[in-house]
Structure 1
Amino acid sequence: MLAQTAVLAVGLLIVVITAVVLGPRMFYYELVQAGHANEAAGLVHLEHAFRSVSLTALAIGGLPALYIAGLLTFYLYRAIGRSLVSFSTAAQEVAAGNYAVRVTSAKLGPEFDSLAGSFNEMAAKLDAVETTRRQMLADLAHEMRTPLASLKGYLEGIEDGVVEWDDRTTSILDAQIARLERLARDIRQLTAAEEGTTGLQLTPQDPEQLAVQAVAAIEPDAVGKDVSVASLSTGRGVAPVLLDRERMGQVLGNLLENALRHTPPGGSITVHTNHTPDAVTVTVTDSGEGISDKHLPHVFERFYRADAGREAHRVGSGLGLAISKSLVEAHGGTLQATSPGPGRGTSFRIHLPRRTPTD
């Protein structure tokens, strides 16, 4: 505000100097140059009157203008100052961990509105990240508690002589250790995929061939559970797709394992590969339990369980779908889940755009 007021005052001073001091002299000089030296000499005595009238006119017009400009400057200073104080206070709240804080628009134009919107969006995302972090830590502690409790119980039983150290005990301990190792590995993979540090080795691949291999890998388990699994393809592959063969095989394996886990005996699983000129879609469809509309938006969240009552019989780390989604997105594709409802099966659809090595 002081700088703006100083600019206005200096501008008014320059106008005064120009009109009162330089104005008469310039007018006198122009008369002489135009050949009216005699008339110019007769106007010298009017300089004082001219200066007096000019000063009066400038005072009447300039001082109120300066006053009004000062008021407007003060208003803008207060408005911008309040807005900046609001932003500063909100930023301090966010720095202190209060991500629920929001700022209102200062109504000072689209730039300030955009700034307020961006700040609120940032705070909302930080709030979501913090909520996810807390939930993940709680879920991680829950996931580790079961195998650790089992290990502790058996080791204490062995020390007390209540449990014999035999092949059955060894297999149980090995299974719990493997569960912890799988959990640690999956967390590492999920973190790398979400942060974009997976290091994909992209080479031209045929998704149909990867689907056939994934089906062949899970077929023995499916036969043992009396579940039929098949692969089919439609459309014409006009060009291979740039994929990381190992990572996409991991995605298909995760989706097939998830489908087999939730498909009862006598059910079926189908992997459908569809080729189009612009993209390839791979859809894993099962005839199993299905997912309700309430749980469908959350299936890709870490450790999410639609049926908490089945926790004791659940296998895996609970991160397979989250890892799969992150890996597909790292390929530039999308992974979506759909289900007609409970008891009517589920479909997971991978959409992969065709890209050339220069893309």
Structure 2
Amino acid sequence: MSSTATDRRWSWSPLTVRLMLAQTAVLVVGLIIVVVTAVLVGPSMFYQELIESGHAYAAFGLVHLEDAFRSVILTALVIGGLPALFIAGMLSFYLYRTIGRSLASFSTAAGQVAAGNYDVHVTSTKLGPEFDLLADSFNDMAEKLAAVDTTRRQLLADLAHEMRTPLASLKGHLEGIEDGVVEWDERTIGIFDAQIARMERLARDIRQLTAAEEATARLQLTLQDPGVLACQAAAAIEPAAAVKNIAVTTSSGGPMATPVLLDQERMGQVLGNLLENALGHTPPGGAITVHTDNAPEAVTVTVTDTGEGISPEHLEHVFARFYRVHTGREAHRAGSGLGLAISRSLVEAQGGTLEAASDGLGHGATFRIRLPRNRDPG
């Protein structure tokens, strides 16, 4: 819609008409009150003042001038009141037209957002801080909706891509069995089980990711010792680590070994994800270390492994959904590619941060959870 059309639409909109009529009514009533006061009350008050001051004779002598007095008062009010009324009406019209034009821009932008266009931007109306705050809030809302929509589209595309591989494998083997090319033996059964388990794991991780990103509204924060939670998570993976001959050790230090506000279940899930990730990328004979640092300003839990490491070009993407450092067959042992994304969402929901570091391939990786003691979760 052009600027001219918008001005025409809102210059005489119902809102503008109602506001102008109300303002005009106020001005007219005020003018009538002034006229009545000046014409009827004014002379009487003047006569009374003359009598009380001892000039009764002069007061009675001025009676014949009453008509002239009223005429002068009315003329002065007309000369001064009508232009004032006109100017006030024009200023009111300009103000209401500006407000109406601003509301029109908000209405048009809201319609575009409702239609799925999140790139809309409302400019400042210069009508005051309230309208500027409204414009900024609307723009922030549109940007967040755009980010959510982009994430949704990317998630659906990634999900379709992730499901395509196991489904193609199942379909190919089924066709091979129907054609008699593939035998229904232990190997084929194992392939079916592996692909079905992969899709089940993908569905479970997607549910966990959704729950993690909505966790802020359902956090159950209690005072917990992160070091104890780290020891519990390490103990949970020790049997699997022993099978691979991987040593798992825990340690703690720092001057303030005091509890902090945490969601015990969700932080346990984070630590479990990080340790499982470390276990999956550490070769036999390696080591995994979990260290808790109780500093005065924050508690830091660090999970370090002696595994494959992460190259610099992959390091900044490890928390992205469905992102895997390895592809092909090696990707299957790394899970669905959602574990680290789930972990970061859960940590941030509790007011903390989760970062990754590595010196490169062959030098292991480190994942560091930092929980400030004075923080606002969510």
Query: Residue type matched to 1:290 in 2?
Result: I
1:240·1:354 contact (CA, 8 Å) conserved in 2?
A: no
Give the paired residue count.
351
- Name the CA shift for 1:311/1:34 in 2 (closer, same or farther; >3 Å): farther
Change (3 A) 1:165 1:116: same
Shift of 1:209: 2.8
Q: Give 1:265 deviation, angstroms.
A: 6.6
Paired with 2:314 and 2:69, the residues of 1 have a C-alpha distance of 86
Determine if contact 1:328/1:350 at 8 Å carries over to the other structure.
yes
Give RMSD over aligned pairs: 2.8
Q: Structure 1 residues 107, 320: CA separation in 2 closer, same or farther (over 3 Å shift)?
A: same
Contact 1:237–1:276 (Cα < 8 Å) also in 2: yes
Equivalent positions of 1:80-99 (< 5 A) are: 80-99=99-118
**Residues 60 and 188 of structure 1: is their aligned pair in 2 closer, same or farther, counting only changes over 3 Å?**
same
Q: Determine the structure 2 residue equivalent to 1:299.
A: 318
Alignment partner of 1:281 out of 300, 310, 315: 300
- In structure 1, C-alpha distance between the alignment counterparts of 2:22 and 2:59, rounded to whole Å: 42
Q: Which residue is equivalent to 2:198?
A: 179
Distance 1:42 1:342 in 2: 111
Report if aligned partners of 1:291, 1:339 keep a CA contact under 8 Å in 2. no
Displacement after TM superposition at 1:167 (Å): 1.7
1:102 paired residue among 114, 121, 126 = 121
Describe the shift of the 1:222–1:329 C-alpha distance in structure 2 as closer, same or farther (beyond 3 A): same
Q: Secondary structure at the match of 1:102?
A: coil
**Counterparts of 1:293 and 1:59, CA distance in 2:** 81
Residues 50/299 of structure 1: CA separation in 2 closer, same or farther (3 Å cut): farther
Structure 2 residue aligned with 1:53: 72
Shift of 1:168: 1.7
Distance 1:342 1:5, change over 3 A: farther
CA distance in 2, matches of 1:120, 1:293: 33
Match of 1:39 among 44, 55, 58: 58
> 1:15 maps to which residue?
34
SS at match of 2:103: helix
Instruction: State yes or no: 1:130 paired with 2:128.
Output: no
Distance 1:80 1:210, change over 3 A: same
Other-structure match for 1:247 = 266
Q: 1:303 to 1:109 in 2, by over 3 A?
A: same
Tell me the distance in 1 between the aligned counterparts of 2:173 and 2:218: 40
Query: Is 1:334 the equivalent of 2:352?
Result: yes
Cα 1:273–1:112, aligned 2, differ >3 Å: closer, same or farther? same
Contact 2:289 2:304 in 1 (8 A): yes
Question: Contact (CA 8 Å) 1:335, 1:348: kept in 2 or not?
Answer: no
Cα distance 1:226–1:290, how it changes in 2: closer, same or farther (>3 A)?
Answer: farther
Q: Which residue does the alignment assign to 1:64? A: 83
Quick one: structure 1 residues 245 and 107, their matched pair in 2 at CA, closer, same or farther if it must change by over 3 Å?
closer
CA distance in structure 1 between the partners assigned to 2:320 and 2:111 by the alignment: 30
CA distance in 1, matches of 2:69, 2:149: 73
Aligned equivalents of 1:202, 1:122: Cα separation in 2: 28
The AA in structure 2 aligned to 1:42 is: G
SS of 1:105's equivalent in the other structure is coil
2:241 and 2:217 mapped to 1: Cα distance?
30
SS of residue paired to 2:327: helix
Aligned to 1:313: 330
Question: Could you tell me which residue of structure 1 aligns to residue 5 of structure 2?
Answer: none
Distance of 1:51 and 1:30 partners within structure 2: 18
1:314 alignment partner, SS class? helix
Tell whether the 8 Å contact from 2:358 to 2:366 is kept in structure 1 after alignment.
Answer: no
Letter paired with 1:314: A
Contact (CA 8 Å) 1:105, 1:113: kept in 2 or not? yes
- The CA distance in 2 between the partners of 1:341 and 1:144, in whole Å, is 33
Say which is worse superposed, 311-320 or 217-226, in terms of deviation: 217-226
Q: Identity of paired residues, percent? A: 70
Q: Secondary structure at the match of 1:351?
A: strand
- Aligned pair partner of 2:184 in 150, 153, 165: 165
Q: Which runs of 5+ in 2 are unaligned?
A: 1-19
SS at match of 1:310: coil
Aligned residues of 2:274 and 2:340 also touching (Cα < 8 A): yes
Q: Assess, with a 3 A threshold, how the Cα gap between structure 1 residues 286 and 42 changes in structure 2: closer, same or farther.
A: farther
Question: What is the aligned partner in structure 2 of residue 190 from structure 1?
Answer: 209
Change (3 A) 1:213 1:198: farther
